[in-house]
Structure 1
Amino acid sequence: MENLKIVFITQARVGSSRFPEKVLHEVDSGLSMLALHLQRLKHSRLYSEIIVATTFEEKAEKIEMIAKSEGVLSFKGSTIDVLDRFYQAAKNHQPDYIVRVTSDCPLIDADLIDQVISLAIQNDLDYASNVLKEDFPDGQDIEVIRWKSLEKAWKDAKIASDREHVTPYIRKNSDYNGGHLFKAQNLSVDSQFSDIRMTVDEPDDLKTIQTLIKELGSEKSWLDYSDFILTNQDMFNNQKIIRNEGYLKSLKKDNNSY
């Protein structure tokens, strides 16, 4: 892995229909959600570069400032065509693999990221993730994409939801789902944690992150946070929010456009 260039790209924007400017909100004393997300990413042992892929929206400079303060790069691209934003952000860095994460997952686990990267490299995959089968908590979503595969998706994907959500074209055309274009595998876990929520789409989600940090600190593993939620369900009001609601809305728009 030493000779491979692995670029982490996290998407972050100030605009959000459900919770505007969510990544700028404080999750701990003086610490923004985006800053915590980036700090946890930097615990990875395998990354070469981290890029915050943001947009040209008003106040996006606040995202750039946080990226700079955390010592990572930033890039501005399309608000809607996020696949293009990822491609343009990465192309000049000549990566071997892209790791896609999202900044509304402040408690992302770097050890888990490294496991998915290792899965991709050791099995010579075009795509590896822990979301082909959703066993892990919402908020621990990790996708590792071979650069040539991302480039092919960028060239060939036409449907709006495929462009907005970056990887559906690859997933749908992978051998994991009966396709022939991409070789893919999923990282599994013995127990099923998919009902646990530690992502931030709504204010109640932010309260959950703040509570977890207050109770456990900001450096625990995904499993530590999950176990705490499972054993203290009465402390959290967000655990019934629908997973992947944004992607489901995009699919609906696709259907309505025909």
Structure 2
Amino acid sequence: MAAGQQNKIALVIQARMRSTRLPGKILLPIPLGSGKPLLSWVIDELKAFSLANDIFIATSTNLENDLLVSYCIDNKIQCYRGEEDNVLSRFISIANMGPYNCIVRLTADNPIIDIDILERVVMRHLNNGNDYTKTEDLPVGMNFEVVATSALLDLQKYKLSLDDEEHVTMFIRNNEQYKKEIYPIADYKHLKGLRLTIDYASDYTLISSLLSQCINDDKLKGIQIVERAFNKYPWIFESNGGNFQKKQYLDLDEELREARAFLENHDFKRVAKILKVKNED
């Protein structure tokens, strides 16, 4: 459906209270000492997105998420609870609540959201008739994924792996029958190497510092928050630069390349060399 026609768009925030490295992080106050939870930063930014019809929290039925559900009730946010490991099933259930033309997949631990860029990628997705659109060249934690509802619902006819069920867009990304586009945001490629997701305490410390800028300047939004800090205090981004970012690998070769790079960057050069030799064998 063309962008000029009536479109229905759902913003779905994948969220849960369980976290191995930083338990309960999505409801931690940020900046440190403020009364605003991390998740509220995500929701408040998304409320400014004029193209969206609905915002959902997609969480699981695990008991620890009862606190998250209470937050949603108190803040009048739609919440869907489903299976813990089959995250895809939560998105499919929400897609069936529509009708929606597309769903934007977000996560609750990425509080710096640029609404102007989100609008650009959603419009591009709709205008090009894509099944899947993803941005690149933004900092880790700021890229967007947009999925056509028809593509999500199409997944119900396949026997999916556990990885496909856990990682919502993996099957679509790995199969050629879907129309996909990687949309580079070249204006901010110089910020691509920065890490702006919250998994570790050091991630929280960095983003707490970045968001503290907004207390004195409420007009500062999205990528501007990052750019201002990067221009004035580039050293601050070294605080979480060594943190490992989990990702889904397309194949064993890609995973081995990433493992070797990680080992080399942490001075395990002999182990990295052995791994390289074994892979070449």
Query: TM-score by structure 2 length?
Result: 0.79
**CA–CA distance in 2 between the matches of 1:14 and 1:6?**
26
Deviations 1:48-92 (A, max 9, x none): 100000111223122123323433200101111111111113312
Shift of 1:157: 5.5
> In the alignment, residue 137 of structure 1 is paired with which amino acid?
P
Unaligned runs of 5+ in 2: 256-281
Greater mean alpha carbon deviation, residues 78-87 or residues 151-160: 151-160
- Structure with bigger gyration radius: 2
> In the alignment, residue 25 of structure 2 is paired with which amino acid?
K
Deviations 1:115-161 (A, max 9, x none): 1110111111111121xxx3111111211111110112343262222
Residue 56 of structure 1: aligned partner: 61
**CA–CA distance in 1 between the matches of 2:85 and 2:139?**
26
The CA RMSD over aligned residues, in Å, is 2.2
Unaligned runs of 5+ in 1: 174-178
Deviations 1:27-57 (A, max 9, x none): 1421000111111111101001000001112
> In the alignment, residue 185 of structure 1 is paired with which amino acid?
E
Does 1:187 find its partner at 2:192? no
> In the alignment, residue 14 of structure 1 is paired with which amino acid?
M
Residue 176 of structure 1: aligned partner: none
Q: How many residues align?
A: 242
Residue 235 of structure 1: aligned partner: 236
> In the alignment, residue 139 of structure 1 is paired with which amino acid?
G
Greater mean alpha carbon deviation, residues 30-39 or residues 104-113: 104-113
Residue 197 of structure 2: aligned partner: 199
Does 1:43 find its partner at 2:48? yes
Q: Structure 1 residues 227 and 21 mapped into 2: Cα distance closer, same or farther (>3 Å)?
A: same
**Are the counterparts in 2 of residues 10 and 102 from structure 1 also a CA contact under 8 Å?**
yes
**CA–CA distance in 2 between the matches of 1:154 and 1:108?**
30
Percent identity reads 26
Does 1:144 find its partner at 2:146? yes
> In the alignment, residue 227 of structure 1 is paired with which amino acid?
E
Larger helix share, 1 or 2: 2
Does 1:12 find its partner at 2:15? yes
**CA–CA distance in 2 between the matches of 1:154 and 1:114?**
28
Q: Structure 1 residues 219 and 82 mapped into 2: Cα distance closer, same or farther (>3 Å)?
A: farther
Residue 247 of structure 1: aligned partner: 248
**CA–CA distance in 1 between the matches of 2:84 and 2:219?**
31
